[in-house]
Every structure is written in structure tokens, then in C-alpha cells.
Amino acid sequence: MTINHMRRGVLGALALATLLGSSGATVAAEKALLWVQPMRDHPVHRLMQAGFLAKCAELGYTCEVVGNPSATNYDVAASIPLAEAALARTEFGAVAVYGPGPEIYPYIGKLGGEGIPVVTWHVLPPEGSVAGLKAATGEDIPAAGANAAIAMGEKLGGKGVVALTQGSINDTENAMSGAFRETMAAKFPDVTILETQLEGFEPSAAEAKAVGVLQGNPEVVGAFSTTGNGIQTWSGAARKADREVVIIGMDYIRQNLDIIKAGDAYGLVAQPLYEEGAKTAELAAAMAEGKEVPYLNPLPADVITADGLDPYYKILDGAGQ
């Protein structure tokens, strides 16, 4: 018996008695999955959760989402107690932990040490690099950065100066920015990329920083952001600075699609956000049932522009977003 099961034995017995009810039906432990995501209420994160919950329902699983209730503050320390509280009241067959950076890796290791299968998404850490991690799904991050560079370079005609921004320093955005730079240098050597700037996740502060970049660099004709609010950041900054900027960002949330549709940004990397959530549920369910799953499960992430928005509006409509 694992530590996790020992510490929840009494609570599990009480829960079982409650679940039996008058009908005698039970919910098996392996039919429950937990999703742990700091900055739970970010619109990009909510789209991931929608895919997870939809696939859970399809597979007949009871699933719970926990994380600090914020759209701007990525807080691992505030999220772990919420996950522990959920684990104390429900025996989950597997846990999905959002792991874009090493600050949450010890918690993944802790869960794995307690015998709980763990899957992560949106990042693809090398197998064996994170203790306790059994599977990972998400976009091919270097390919996403490379695709953005090709789209940007072609739109600029192979010349010009490009601003590059990230939400924060983390494994996902670092790798994407690196691939963007490498691909641009190889395919469009006459394009200059400025030093990477951090937007952060507070919209008004991010926009102010982007305005500063434009005002301090009048030669900038393009901007690539590796974070979900980047299209809003740069379209707002271009408008305030009265500049024409070719903007490529991330994520097919509705606000971003609307900005591209209006002609205020060029395109976005269609990170498979909803699809990542669904694949995470699929992997977690399989592990909860004792099945072997592949460790790496990469998903494609193409760049879409105004003529390719309709399928993504349909995804959002289906997700109720």
C-alpha cells in the first residue's frame, strides 16, 4: 500500500459509504482524475481544461480541476495545497499536473513516490528528466517556433526588424523563442530580431512594455510573442504607437481570433490547447486503468491567418467559450 493510499484510507472508506447511497452504485477510484493547474483562470488554461473535462465525460470519468484562482498570477505554492485537499477527499486513479517549469517538478516527484501515475501537458520534458512523470503531451515546441519564424519571414519579404517577447522565463517559451531565432537566422538572414523582452501576464503592463519597445525602436516592423495574451499586447501597442506591425502570437482563444479577423494582427500559432487537454485525459485514464502508455505524445501546432479561423471558432463554440 502506498503512502497516498494509507493517508486516505479512512477518508476513502467514508467516501465509499456515501457513494453507495440507496442505489448501491459506486464510483471506482480509478474512474476519477485530478487536473492541477496554477493560474487556473487564465483563458488559455480554461480552454485546456475544457478539452480535459469533455474527454473525461466521454470516457465516463469523474474529473476535478484545481489551482490558484487567478488569470494573471502563476502560483505553484498556492496550488499545491488545493491539490492535496482534493487528494485527501477523493482517491484519484491518476493526476495531471501542469509543468511548464522546474518549480513544480518536486511535487510531481512526490506524487509519483506515492504511487500515483502523473501526466503533464503543454511541455515535453525528456523522458527520465522529471521524477515521477509517466507521460507528457503537447505541441512540438521547437516546430511551433520554427513555423512562426517561417510565417513571419515570408510576410516581411525576408527583411526587417522583429521584436520578440515572452510571458516569462520558462522551458516552453525559452525553447520556442530559441527555435524562432534559429529558424529565422537560417532561412531569413536579413531579418534582425531584437533582444527578448518579458511581457509578464498583466495586460496593461504588457502593453505598456510593448509600446516602449516600438517607441524605442522605430525600425520594428514585426513582433512575435510566445505567450497567449501576446496578440492583444502587440495589437494594442501598435494602435497606441500608430504603427503598422506584422504580429504573430499564440493561442486560438476568441479574443485573439477576433483581433486577427479584424486585421489587427497577422496570425497565431494554433497551439493544440483543447486537444492537449483531451489527450491528457485519455492518457490519465489509461494509466488509471493500469495500461502502459507512450511517454511522449506530441501534437502539431500550425500557424493560422485570417483565412483559416473558422475551424477554431467552431472548437471554441463547442467548448462553450
**How far is CA 249 from its chain centroid?**
14
Domains of the chain are 3-139+273-299 (3.40.50.2300), 142-269 (3.40.50.2300)
pLDDT in tens, 214-261: 999 999 999 999 998 999 999 999 999 999 999 999 989 899 999 999
Strand duo 303-305 + 267-269: pairing: antiparallel
Any idea which of 195-199, 262-266, 269-273 has the lowest mean pLDDT? Answer: 269-273
> For the chain, how many residues are written?
321
Q: Which residues, at least 6 apart from 61, have a Cβ–Cβ distance to it below 8 Å?
A: 31, 32, 33, 281, 285, 288
Angle at 296 between CA 176 and CA 131, to 5 degrees: 95
- The pLDDT score that the predictor gives to residue 271 is 86
Portion of the chain with pLDDT greater than 90, in percent: 81
- State the chain's mean pLDDT as an integer: 90
Which pTM does this prediction carry? 0.72
Average confidence (pLDDT) over 304-317: 94
Cα torsion angle, 168, 173, 175, 176, sign: negative
pLDDT of residue 55 exceeding 90? yes
